[in-house]
Structures are given as structure tokens and as C-alpha cells.
Amino acid sequence: MIPLSAYLSVSLFLFLTGLVGIIIRQSPVVMFMCIEMMLNAVNLSFVSFARYAPWVASGDITQTASQWMTGEITVLFVMAVAAAEVAVGLGMIMSIYKNEPDVNVDALSNLKG
Amino acid sequence: MISLENYNWLHSVIILMVLMPFLGALFQALYGKLTECLLGVKSGRWLLGSLAFTFVGTSFGLALLVVKDIFLKHPADVCCFRFTYFDWINLEVLRVPVEMFLDPLSITMVLLITGVGSLIHLYSTAYMSDDAEYSRFFTYLNMFIGFMLILVLSNNLLLLFVGWEGVGLCSYLLIGFWYKNLENAKAANKAFIVNRIGDLGLLLGIFSIAFLLHSTYGINSAGNVITPQILDPRWLSYDIIFGLLPSILTSYPDYATAIALLLFVGAMGKSAQFPLYVWLPDAMAGPTPVSALIHAATMVTSGIFLLNRMHMVFEFSPYASAIVSVVGAITAVWAALIAFGQTDIKKVLAYSTVSQLGYMFMACGVGAYWVGMFHVLTHAFFKALLFLGSGAVIYAMAHEQDMRRYGNLWRYLPVTGICMMIGTFAIAGIPLLSGFWSKEAILHAAFESSYPANLLGVDVATLVGWTGVFVAILTSAYMFRMHLLTFGIPFVNGAERWRLIPAHDHHHHHSESEGAVESEKYDFSDDTFNFYRRELCSHGCHHSDEHHALDKNHEPKEVPYSMQVVLVILAILSIFGGFFLHQHHFLEHFLSSSSAVSWVKPEILVDSYHDNHGVLESLLYISILAVTIGMSYALIVYSRGLPEKEGYNEEKWSRFRLFAKDGFMFDSSLSRIFGRGGYKLSEGFWYVFDNFLIDGIVNMFGKLSSICGEMTRFFQNGNIRFYIFMMSLAILVIIFYILKGGLN
């Protein structure tokens, strides 16, 4: 069986890639993609933990269904929220794009003192 | 001291006497304009003028009543009354009641102030009748009389100071009465500021007396410790001061000198003595009755009054007394010399006032305090007469004050001329007129002074005496100069001098004369707020209506009767006043008893020796000779009219006269040293303290916070990706912290 740490390593790698991407890229669309990547890295660790939970691994059916399924449900929840967030965020990007010639994040500094 | 039981009415009479002028001032201030509106200008002013005169006259009447019922019925040395009205300051250790002190000295001053004051009020009703602000003038004049009465009647030094400042204020207001003319406003400021210097001396003197009373009260002469609580809390009152000071000053003679000198600085300011005299000639910017009342007859003598009141302190300090007489002598000579260079008739009289005040201080300095008061009285008569006479001349000559444009006025103004001549005779010291008696008394006192008064090995009293003789020569010379230039034979090519004024010269001299407004003369560079310029038009227009200038066809007219009456009364007083006061040594006995508490004179004052018997015997001839010399000089030089050497062309003037015209450069040097020097000093302070120290500290805090801001600003650069990076870093740090067990 593949150990938990392998899944977590992939998750960490994805998360860091997303983080670095969000820091170094200037395009808001790419930054959104990076955010998605980070969210999915977290989702991966959720499902991994859910699969490797002791009572799941040992097949202990005395636990309730919610305890069996918590990780997966949270992942679904995160995906739903992320979808909503993207809808809002892309809308904002579109409206900025209507007013500004370029949607470079660094150039959007009108509120800076 | 006679019992007050039979004189209950005195209590109210005295306060009524003081309050009368204040009531008058209040009425003039509140209802003056209203009266003029209701009754019309002419009759309204008649009413206002009579009221102003009545209020002061009532005070005079009350004073006469007091004299008749008290001072003429009892020997003078028992006539000392203290009237307490209410508490002004009431602390545990200090109680300053409003108290009046009636004794021969104060009643003499009261009679002088209200008597001469009411005469001058009468004169002013006519003199000021054309002025736009009639009631304002009488408000100030009445208020002045009230403050002067407080000054002389108060029983403690603080109340005296109230009066002292009050008369200073009224003097300021009246010098600057025509305040729209910037020169007058400046003269008023100058008088006020120079007087502040003197007032500081007086205040320090009062503080020193208070300090001395309190600090030395611990141990009395018997060696018993006395706690200050036993000290009467009224310790600023004269009766307490005079009771305690002799024993204290005997043991601390240096304090006597210090206090005496500080009080003398106060007297110097008010009475225009040598370094502080500069304000008095400029004070002539005020209306002429003001010059007569305040700057000649009454207010300027309050310094002499102070010395008389506090003479105990001076008698304990021969050094201070010597300095007083020397300063008086210097002032007398200095001002008399300057008077020779003046062409403005009021300036001559102003300098002669300064000079005569010097005489009074000479008398006080050699220990003859009553003689100082004697000269105050006679001087008040003849100097008020001379000033009011000069006012009549100015009135008749269309506000022209330059004596070079007078001449032959004898023909046009006979009454004024005779009165002025009497005044001139009196001030010069022609025998049997009032000035003669008091001047004789001063010289006599100086030569027979019982003071040791050896200052730096010089016999001060004798020196002062000879200075007095010299000043008598000068006085008679410049006074006859003034009289001859004004009234004397005028003919140059058969016409009076004002008929020969060059046409181009005609315009610019007006602005120097009192009250006249000429816009081109003004220097508005200091007028930041556009105050004078804004008002100028209305005032200037107003004045040009009534202003009639001197020209070829000018006919001087004698002044109204209400002014002539005053002149005649004062002339009579100038003739007989001195003789009347001096007969049987009346004034000497009257005033010598004036101090409330008798004390043993300190021994240092007794063992002096002067060999002046020869001088004393021939003093009468010496002073007559002095008058004759001065008079003959003036007659020889000025009897043929205006000499070429003093004419309009000042290039022909002698060097001495030019120098004297500028007041020996004293005034201008003072303003250069203290004005510009003070400016430079302040500039230096500004640079070092304000600019460097204070601004530096403030700027340092500013710079400091700005540097801190610059440093933290790096983190707030508005770059969102940087924020995310920093946030991640911070989260990492927190995670590591938790992992290492930092939270436990």
C-alpha cells in the first residue's frame, strides 16, 4: 500500500507550486489557477487523511457514517465554494478589464497612498 | 490725632470726593453721544462741558470744605485720618483694604489736582468745542482726576500703584487723543512704554519693602523672635510701614538705599527725570489742556509726591538722596539747554517742565521735601498758565505752533499776552512772584542742607545749589526768548512774520501742528491693517472744513471768555500764590507735619558741615542777578525780532542750537541703541533659540517619525503579491513555532 506520506508529499508539492505561482505571476487569471491548485492540494490531503483514518483502515464499522465520510464531504464543499469564488473573481477581472487596458495585478495600485 | 467721633461725615465726604470724577467719566462715556444727539451739538456740548466741570468742581468744593472744617481748625500735625471702606484683597497674611489717608500732604495734592483740574476743565470746554469727540475727551479727563485722587489719597502702596497706573493710562489715552495721526499714536505709545520702565522700578520698590518687612520681622531689636503672624496683615498700609521701617532700616542701611533708588526709578518715569524724560516732550502731541493738566501741573508731579510720601526711606539713605538731587540737577540743566533749540512753543514749555521737575527733585534730594511740594504748587500755577496761554495762542494762530511764525501777538491778544508775561516772570523767578519764592526756597535748602551727601568726595548739596543758580539763568533766558518771539516786536520789513511765510512752505508744516491732518505726511509703512488709511478720508474731510490756515490775511483773535477767565485766575495765583504760601512759613509747617508717624532721625544725618553762610546771606542778590542776566540776554538777542541765526533756514543755525534742537541726540541714540539694538538682540535670540533650539527639537521629532515611516513603508508597498509572500512567510514562522512546541 502506498504510504500516506507519498500523498501528502504530492499535496505539499502542489500547494507550494500554487503559492510560488501566486507570488511570482502577475496575471490574475494565472493567480486564480494557482489558487485552485492550492485548494486542490488541500483537497488531496483531505481525502488522503480520510482514507488513512484509523477506523477506515481497520474497517471499524462502529463509527458513524459521518466520521467515515467527513474528509470527502469537506472536499466536495471546498470544490463548490471554489467554483463560486471563481465565478465572482472572474466577474471582477472582467469588469476591471473593461476599465483598464491591462489586468496586471501590480498595475492595479490606485488605492496605494 | 484728633478723634474721628465728631467727623463722621468726613468718611463719606472723602469717598465722594474720589468718586465724583469717576461718576463724571461714566456719564460722559455712557451718555455723551446721546446728549449730543438729543440736545443738538451746541447745547449738548454746553451741558456735557458744564457737567464735566461740575463733577471736578464738586470734588474741589468738598476738598475746600475739609480744609475749612479740619485743617484750619486744628494744628496740622494732628490732622491725620485713615478711612477704611472695604477689603480689596483679603488673605490670611495680607489684607489690602481700600483705605484713604488724609493728611496735610494729601490734602495739598487734592486741592492742587481738583483746583487746577477744574480750571482746566473749564478752559477745555471752549478749547475742545470744535472737536468731533467732545465727550470722549472729558471722559478721559475726568477719569484722570479720579485716578490722581486715588494716587494721592490712598493709604497703601498697592492702591497708590492703581492710581499710578490709572493716570498713566489716562495720559496715554489723552496723548493719543487724535489717534488717527500716526505720530500722535506713536507718542502715546512712547509715553506708555517709557513709563513702564519707571513703573517696574516702583513695583520692585514695593516688593522690596514687602520682602524686607516679612524677612526681618523674625527678630525684633530686643532679640525676641516674633512670628510673622503677629504682623498686621495690612502691612502695605502707610501707618504700618512707617511704624516698622525705622527700626528695620536702621539695622539694614543698604536696603534703605536699594528701596529708595527703586522708588526713585518709579518717580523718574512719571516725573520725566534724566534718562526717562524722553516721553514728555513727545507727549505734547495731545491737546493743549492735557499738556497743561497732566504733563505740567499734576501727573508729572506724582513722582515728587511719592518721594514726599516715602521720604522716610530716603532720609535713611544719604547716597540715594544724593543721587536724587544729582539726577534732578542733571535733568534741570539738560532740559534747559535743549529748550534753547526748540521752535515749537509747546516743546519749549515741555522742556521747561522737565527742567522745573529737576528743580523739585533737587530740593527733595537735599532733604527739603516740603520745598519740593512748594515748587510743585507754584509750578502748577504758572506752568498751567503758560500752557493754557500757549493753547490760546495756538487757537488764535490756526493751530500753528512754530514760534518763528508768531510775533507781535501782543497787539492781537492783550489778555493772553499779559497772562503769559506774568507766567514768564513767575517761572523766571522775578522777585515777589510765586516762582521766585519756591526757587529761592530750593536754592536756600540746597546751600544750607544738613545732609552729608558726600558722593565720591564731592559736596553734592552745594554743587546742586550752584547748578540751580545756573539753571535759573538758563530758565529766564529761554522763557523770555519764548515770550519775545511770540509776543514781541515782529516787524521784518514792516509786517508780521506769519504774513511773510513763503507760499511753498505753507503746506507741509501743518501736519506737525496738533490735530491737523495732512495725508501726504503720513508714513503708512507700519500700518499693516490699513487702520489709519481707512479712516483718513472722513477725518481729513472733516478737518479741512474747519481748518483755517495761516496766511497773509490772518487776524489772530482773542480766545473766548471762558478761556480768558481761567488764564486770569491762574495769573493771579502765579502772582500771589507763592507769597501767600510762604508767609510765616505756612506751607513748611503745614507739610513738615505730614508724615503719619514720627520717628527719631538717624544720627548720620546730623553731623554734617557746610560752609555756605556767605552764599546764603547773598543768595537773594545772586538769584536776582541770575534772572537779570538771563533776561538781558534774551532782550538783547530777541528784541529786534527773529534773529537770522534762528530763522527758517536751519543751515544758518549755530552748531549748539542745532544740537539742542535734536535734544542732544539723546532720544535718537536711545532709540538706536535700545530700538535697533533690541531688534538685533531679538534677532540673535530668534536665530539661536527659536530657529535652532526650539525648531530643532520640533523638527527632530518630525524627522524621527518620518524615518520610522520610511523604514516601515517598505512593508506597505501596495504590491499584493508581496503581501501574499509575507503572509506565507509569517504562516510558516507560526507553523514552525507551533511545531517546536512554542505554544506550550
Q: What is the gyration radius of the CA atoms in chain B, in angstroms?
A: 31
What is residue B144's predicted lDDT score, i.e. its pLDDT?
94
Q: Could you tell me the residue range of the domain that residue B508 belongs to? A: 502-549
Cα-to-chain-centroid distance, residue B77:
30
Cβ atoms of B373 and B587 closer than 8 Å? yes
Any domain includes B656: no
Given this model, what pLDDT does residue B406 score? 80
Count the alpha carbons within 13 Å of B220 in the hemisphere toward its beta carbon: 9
Least confident of B332-336, B373-377, B555-559, B602-606: B602-606
Residues B691 and B585 in one domain: no
Closest CA to B451 of B608, B576, B339, B590: B608
Q: How far apart are CA B737 and CA A58, in angstroms?
A: 34
CA-nearest residue to B726 within chain A is A23
Report pLDDT for B507.
44
* Of B719, B724, B728, Cβ closest to residue A106: B719
**Residue B454, helix vs strand vs coil:** strand
- Is residue B726 situated within a structural domain? yes
Same domain, B236 and B199: yes
Q: What is the pTM for the complete model shown?
A: 0.75
What is the CB-side half-sphere exposure of residue B69 using CA atoms within 13 A?
Answer: 12
Name every chain B residue with its beta carbon within 8 A of the beta carbon of A113. 718
| B715-742 confidence digits (pLDDT tens) | 777 778 888 888 999 999 999 999 988 6
Q: Is A105 on the interface with B (CB under 8 A)?
A: yes
B664 contact partners, CB below 8 Å, separation of at least 6: B334, B337, B338
Query: Cα(A107)–Cα(A28) distance, rounded to whole angstroms?
Result: 11
User: Is residue B539's pLDDT more than 60?
Assistant: no
Is B226 a domain residue?
Answer: yes
* CB-CB under 8 Å, B718 with A19: no
Tell me the CA distances in angstroms from B75 to B6, B370, B679, one per residue in order: 16, 17, 58
pLDDT at A34: 92
DSSP state of B394: H
8 Å CB contact between B64 and B72: no
Distance from CA of B732 to the nearest CA of A (A): 12
Give the pLDDT of residue B715.
79
Domain finish residue from B593, B620, B646: B646
* Neighbouring C-beta atoms of residue B689, cutoff 10 Å: 12
Q: Confidence band (pLDDT; 50, 70, 90) for B236?
A: confident
Cα–Cα distance for residue pair B464/B368, rounded to 1 Å: 13
Domain range list for chain A: 4-102
pLDDT beyond 60 at B538? no
Q: What is the mean pLDDT of residues B566-584?
A: 87
C-alpha–C-alpha distance, residues B81 and A31, integer Å:
104
B590/B732 same-domain check: no
How far away is chain B from the Cα of A65, in angstroms, using its nearest Cα? 32
**Cβ–Cβ below 8 Å for B721 and A26:** yes
| B318/B443 same-domain check | yes
pLDDT level of residue B521 (50, 70, 90 thresholds): very low
In angstroms, the CA B21 to CA B58 distance is 9
pLDDT at B179: 87
- Of A69-78, B53-62, B171-180, B442-451, the range with the lowest mean pLDDT is B442-451
Q: How confident is the model at residue B378 (pLDDT cuts 50, 70, 90)?
A: very high
Statement to judge: residues B642 and B697 lie in one domain: no
Contact B272, B135 (CB under 8 A): no
The answer to whether position B653 is within a domain reads no
| Shortest distance, CA B718 to any CA of chain A (angstroms) | 6
CB B314 within 8 A of CB B364: yes
Least confident of B206-210, B364-368, B679-683: B364-368
Contacts of B721 in chain A (CB under 8 A): 22-26, 105-106
Number of separate domains in chain B = 4
In a domain, B651, yes or no: no
B725:A26 CB<8 A: no
CA dist., res. B17 & res. B693, Å (int):
56
Q: Report the gap between the CA of A64 and the closest CA in chain B (Å).
A: 31
Q: How sure is the predictor about B504, in pLDDT bands with cuts at 50, 70 and 90? A: very low
Rounded to an integer, what distance in angstroms lies between the CA atom of residue B619 and that of residue B641? 33
Dihedral, CA of residue A70, residue A71, residue A72 and residue A76, to nearest 10: 100
Which pLDDT score, from 0 to 100, does residue B228 have? Answer: 52
pLDDT at A81 over 90: yes
Compare B630 and A66 and report the one with higher pLDDT.
Answer: B630
CA distance B254 to B318: 11
Give me the residues of B, 665-724, that contact A with CB < 8 A: 717-721, 724
Which residues, at least 6 apart from B642, have a Cβ–Cβ distance to it below 8 Å?
B404, B407, B485, B492, B497
Higher pLDDT, residue B617 or B489: B617
The answer to whether residues B418 and B485 belong to one domain is yes
Q: Between B717, B718, B725, which is nearest A23 by CB?
A: B725
Closest residue to B720, CB basis, from A19, A105, A113: A105
pLDDT digits (tens, 9 = 90+) for B91-124: 877 788 898 988 888 889 999 999 999 999 999 9
pLDDT, position B461: 81
Question: Do the domain assignments include residue B640?
Answer: yes
Residue B526 confidence class, pLDDT cut points 50, 70, 90 = low
Instruction: Note whether B677 and B572 are same-domain residues.
Output: no
Cell of B406: 508768531
Of all residues in chain B, the percent with pLDDT exceeding 90 is: 31
- Asked whether the beta carbons of B354 and B276 are under 8 A apart, the reply is no
Q: How far is A19 from chain B (nearest CA, A)?
A: 8
Taking CA–CA distances from A31, the nearest residue in chain B reads B721
Mean predicted lDDT score pLDDT of chain B: 82
Whether the CB of B725 is below 8 Å from some CB of chain A: the reply is: yes
* B427, B575 Cβ separation under 8 angstroms: no
pLDDT, tens digit, 9 for 90 and up, residues B592-640: 765 544 444 444 444 445 566 777 778 888 889 999 999 998 888 887 7
Q: Please state the rounded mean pLDDT for residues B584-591.
A: 77
User: Do B190 and B266 have their domain in common?
Assistant: yes
Do residue B330 and residue B283 come from a single domain? yes
- Residue B468 in grid coordinates: 540751580
Q: What residues in A contact B725, CB-CB < 8 Å? A: 23
Residue B492 backbone phi and psi in degrees, to 5: -120, 115
For residue B578, pLDDT over 70 is answered with yes
Residue B503: band (very low, low, confident or very high) from pLDDT cuts 50, 70, 90: very low
**Spatial distance between the Cα atoms of B703 and B351, rounded to a whole number of angstroms:** 60
Task: Give the three-class secondary structure for B95.
Answer: strand
Number of helices (H) and strands (E) in chain B: give both, helices first: 29, 4
State how far the Cα of B729 lies from the Cα of B637, in Å rounded to an integer. Answer: 107
3-state SS, B3-59, equals CCHHHHHHHHHHHHHHHHHHHHHHHHHHHHHHHHHHHCHHHHHHHHHHHHHHHHHHH
Can you give the C-alpha Rg of chain A in angstroms? Answer: 19
The owner of cell 541765526 is: B645
CA distance B9 to B214: 36
Based on the fold, state whether residues B511 and B606 are members of the same structural domain: no
In this structure, the answer to whether residues B614 and B474 fall within a common structural domain is yes
Architecture in CATH for domain A4-102:
Orthogonal Bundle (1.10)
